[in-house]
Amino acid sequence: MRVTELSAALAARRAADLYRRRQVVDSPQGAEVVVGGRRVVNFCSNDYLGLAGHPEVIAAWRRGAETYGVGSGASHLVCGHLRPHHALEEELAAFTGRDRALLFSTGYQANLGVLGALVARGERVFEDRLNHASLLDGARLAAARLRRYPHGEVATLERWLDEGGATLIATDAVFSMDGDLAPLPALAGLARRHDAWLYVDDAHGFGVLGERGAGTVSHFGLDQARVPILMATLGKALGVFGAFVAGSDELIEWLIQSARTYIYTTALPPALAEAVRAALRLVRAEDWRRRHLQALIARFRQGATELGLRLLPSPTPIQPLIVGDNETALRWSRQLLERGFWVAPIRPPTVPAGSARLRITLSAAHREAQVDGLLTALGELSA
């Protein structure tokens, strides 16, 4: 596109209330942040357990930098695989009950790398229609024959599989804009019957759901044999940055040899790996964070129901409030910010047309009074 075409396209986005603007935050992430010179209650963040600013995590990062420096120097396969990386991989494998784990710089890179390494050109990949963009892009970049089944409709997927089978079935575990859970037990059964990989992206469930926070796969009682490929991120519930893939020894070794987004990128800073290790210890030890978070979710949902607000059926910290049109989503978000509550408006193409929403995310760092304050403000807007 030429510059004049870019200008016209940007103007069209503004006119359709689809233009996105960044807000500059002048404080650490937490239940409250400073935006535009004002301290507001933050209901936008994916810091579900309130670990992004935890003193032990910060101290671990500082110690890691003092011991190993701030940069890894190279990719993992050259000279950038430092002891903290290796220790974190072993701890993530043990925590998820899998043979091995492999660090990636981001969840996006993990999804691109895994699909590129496992799927050959023309092979069939089935994905939930509401999967994260990185899973869809991974299949497309692998030149797979991608088919997207209606959200959560296992019967449709089963019919399609009976017509010709698949190399791989991929799904979010917790859907990032709806907050609901994928039907993982049914998907695992289909994958086994059709001899297909099952790839689960647990970015929004890891740390929050399951035994000790081991994630959505643990929540459903599924093991490595039932879900052979597990990906999760380290910048949401764990509050830091990065991602990992966990599975069998053969899977991880193949990814080390073949995943281009692993091979051809600089390794994460070793100090960051030390910070994640500290966060993982807190996730294992402090179950009160998940209990408090679940209590806040129940409190918010009950209050929203009493107000007649249209929430999607989500048991997770992601609580989407459907408002329908883009203008209303923007206006309500702006009015909430004026009242001291920061809630992100989500519009197409991130969500389907006509389903613009406020994506309200709860954290273990929130207090009951803050949740009640948000409910009061929403009641004023919807009255």
Catalytic residue IDs: 176, 204, 236
Between CA 200 and CA 232 the distance in angstroms is 8
Between CA 158 and CA 353 the distance in angstroms is 27
Between CA 57 and CA 346 the distance in angstroms is 30
Residues in Cβ contact with 142 at an 8 Å cutoff, skipping those fewer than 6 apart: 115, 116, 119, 120, 121, 125
C-alpha dist (Å) from residue 366 to 24, 30, 38, 90, 296: 21, 8, 18, 32, 8
164: its two tokens: 């010709």
276: its two tokens: 């994640």
Between CA 172 and CA 101 the distance in angstroms is 19
Between CA 379 and CA 100 the distance in angstroms is 48
Phi, psi of 318 (to 5 degrees): -85, 115
- The answer to whether the beta carbons of residues 29 and 214 sit under 8 Å apart is no
Residue type, 155: A
Angle at 249 between CA 246 and CA 253, to 5 degrees: 90
Between CA 233 and CA 241 the distance in angstroms is 7
84 preceded by a cis bond (ω within 30 of 0)? no
| Angular region, 230: left φ>0, alpha ψ -120 to 50, beta rest | beta
Q: Tokens 């209330």 — which residue?
A: 17
Bridge partner residues of 345 (DSSP):
358
Between CA 157 and CA 287 the distance in angstroms is 36
